[in-house]
């Protein structure tokens, strides 16, 4: 029995990718066309003509508006007409604004509804695609559980790639290297990987070469890497950019190269970026101190731009080697200091243990002497008591020996009488 699995996503995560499923620019063009074709009914309301009023109504309207009558009907009518035209124009403008706001609100609501509908349709497509591919189902299950291998080669298509991007949005997957080369992927899925990089801080290596990515993917990835300084290896090689998209791609890459502080290796080999793009990128790389390997072949760049990039890369490598040596020395000094500190702490602890042992021995010897003295004292007391008892016994014996002699002498005396 095959293994079929599709992950579940919360609404907040779906919102992060929702706009990528809908062509927002086409929607706005459509809405703008509706605004242009729809005539405003307020423009059909005629302007009140001051010269059509009688004198009484004319003076009343002028008084309402704080206008001072001059006494001549034609002049007063002309003055009032200016104010009436201004009021009419203000009324038309306010109605237009109200209607435009209402249209914008309706358009936004329709756009949100279309986004939600597109998201639901996309999820149905993704679920069917993933569940029908056992290997992808197993991989996605491992990624969601956070037990996937750190290096992954995912054989996805434009549909299942969207699911993979959502799974990699968080840092719980444990995937640090992702290979998506030579899968015939397009901007439909490429923009999802770019959006994923805005939040993912686990991926260190991302290979996207030999696909059909265009300006949208390049722009989305470049925007994400302006703030993502964790990714160190990025390959976009052999994604042939359309001629009319060259400048847009180069501008996006140049902006990213200026701001990114994490990439060490980047490849845009055979991407058809062109000479103008080479100039932009070569100027941008002057401000980059971290990139040390940059594959730029077969982009039809000028030799001067290539040499400039090579010199910057060499400068960065030399600087990083010096920094690495210094960091190594610092770590060695820190280790020596730590060992000395640990030795001093151990000596101090040993001294404390020795002092504690000596104090303990003093207490033990003092207790032993006290016990010996008590034993000696007790022995003397026992000896004295023994001597005393012997004396008493001796005295008692002597006294007992003397008593019979006295009785005998008394008897003899009585016999003599």
Q: pTM score, two decimals?
A: 0.71
* β partners of residue 235: 207, 267
Nearest to 194 by CA among 245, 138, 253, 275: 253
Nearest to 316 by CA among 276, 260, 274, 273: 260
Q: What is the pLDDT along the chain (417 residues), one digit of tens a residue?
A: 578 899 999 989 998 998 898 765 444 444 554 544 455 555 667 777 888 888 888 888 888 888 888 888 888 888 888 888 898 888 888 988 999 999 999 988 888 888 888 889 999 999 999 999 999 999 999 999 999 999 999 999 999 999 999 999 999 888 999 999 999 999 999 999 999 999 999 999 999 999 999 999 999 999 999 999 999 999 999 999 999 999 999 999 999 999 999 999 999 999 999 999 999 999 999 999 999 999 999 999 999 999 999 999 999 999 999 999 999 999 999 999 999 999 999 999 999 999 999 999 999 999 999 999 999 989 998 889 888 888 888 888 888 887 655 555 555 555 554
Determine which helix (DSSP H) or strand (DSSP E) holds 93, and give its type and residue range. helix 73-131
Amino acid 25: pLDDT: 46
Determine which helix (DSSP H) or strand (DSSP E) holds 372, and give its type and residue range. helix 303-416
- List Cα–Cα distances, 243 to 107, 220, 249, 274, in angstroms: 34, 19, 10, 8
Whether the CA torsion 29, 34, 39, 41 is positive or negative: it is: negative
Q: What is the DSSP letter of 182?
A: S
Strands, E assignment, 277-346:
293-295
Nearest to 163 by CA among 199, 127, 135: 127
Please give the Cα distance from 368 to 376 (Å, whole number): 12
Please give the Cα distance from 170 to 152 (Å, whole number): 16
Amino acid 1: pLDDT: 52
Nearest to 192 by CA among 325, 33, 327, 17: 17
Nearest to 279 by CA among 259, 300, 294: 300
- List Cα–Cα distances, 47 to 44, 68, 109, in angstroms: 9, 21, 35
| Other C-beta atoms lying within 10 Å of the C-beta of residue 65 | 12
Whether the CA torsion 102, 105, 111, 113 is positive or negative: it is: negative
The SS3 of residue 132 is: coil
Q: What are phi and psi of 150, to 5 degrees?
A: -65, -30
Determine which helix (DSSP H) or strand (DSSP E) holds 275, and give its type and residue range. helix 275-284
């Amino acid at each position: 029995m095959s293994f079929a699995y599709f992950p579940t996503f919360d609404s907040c995560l779906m919102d992060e990718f929702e706009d990528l499923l809908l062509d927002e620019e086409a929607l706005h063009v459509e809405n703008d066309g509706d605004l242009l074709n729809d005539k405003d009914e307020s423009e059909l309301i005629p302007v009140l003509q001051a010269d059509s009023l009688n004198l009484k109504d004319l003076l009343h309207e002028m008084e309402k508006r704080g206008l001072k009558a001059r006494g001549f009907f034609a002049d007063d009518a002309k003055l009032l007409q200016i104010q009436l035209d201004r009021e009419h124009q203000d009324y038309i403008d306010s109605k237009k604004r109200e209607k435009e706001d209402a249209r914008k609100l309706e358009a936004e609501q329709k756009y949100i509804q279309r986004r939600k509908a597109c998201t639901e349709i996309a999820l149905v497509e993704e679920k069917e695609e993933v569940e029908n591919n056992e290997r992808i189902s197993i991989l996605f299950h491992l990624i969601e559980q956070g037990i996937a291998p750190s290096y992954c080669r995912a054989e996805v298509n434009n549909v299942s790639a969207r699911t993979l991007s959502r799974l990699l949005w968080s840092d719980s997957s444990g995937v640090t290297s992702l290979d998506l080369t030579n899968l015939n992927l397009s901007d439909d899925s490429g923009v999802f990987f770019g959006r994923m990089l805005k939040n993912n801080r686990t991926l260190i290596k991302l290979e996207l070469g030999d696909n059909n990515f265009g300006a949208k993917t390049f722009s989305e990835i470049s925007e994400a890497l302006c703030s993502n300084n964790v990714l160190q290896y990025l390959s976009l090689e052999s994604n042939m950019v359309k001629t009319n998209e060259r400048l847009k791609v180069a501008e996006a890459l140049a902006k990213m190269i200026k701001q990114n502080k994490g990439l060490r290796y980047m490849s845009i080999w055979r991407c058809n970026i062109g000479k103008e793009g080479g100039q932009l990128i070569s100027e941008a790389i002057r401000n980059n101190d971290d990139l040390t390997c940059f594959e730029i072949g077969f982009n039809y760049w000028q030799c001067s731009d290539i040499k400039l990039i090579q010199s910057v890369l060499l400068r960065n490598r030399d600087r990083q080697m010096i920094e690495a040596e210094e960091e190594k020395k610092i770590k060695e000094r820190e280790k020596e200091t730590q060992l000395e500190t640990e030795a001093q702490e151990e000596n101090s602890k040993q001294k404390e243990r020795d002092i504690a042992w000596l104090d303990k021995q003093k207490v033990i010897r003092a207790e032993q002497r006290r016990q010996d003295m008590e034993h000696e004292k007790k022995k003397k007391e026992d000896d004295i008591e023994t001597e005393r008892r012997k004396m008493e016994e001796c005295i008692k014996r002597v006294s007992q020996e003397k008593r019979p002699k006295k009785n005998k002498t008394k008897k003899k005396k009585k016999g003599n009488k």
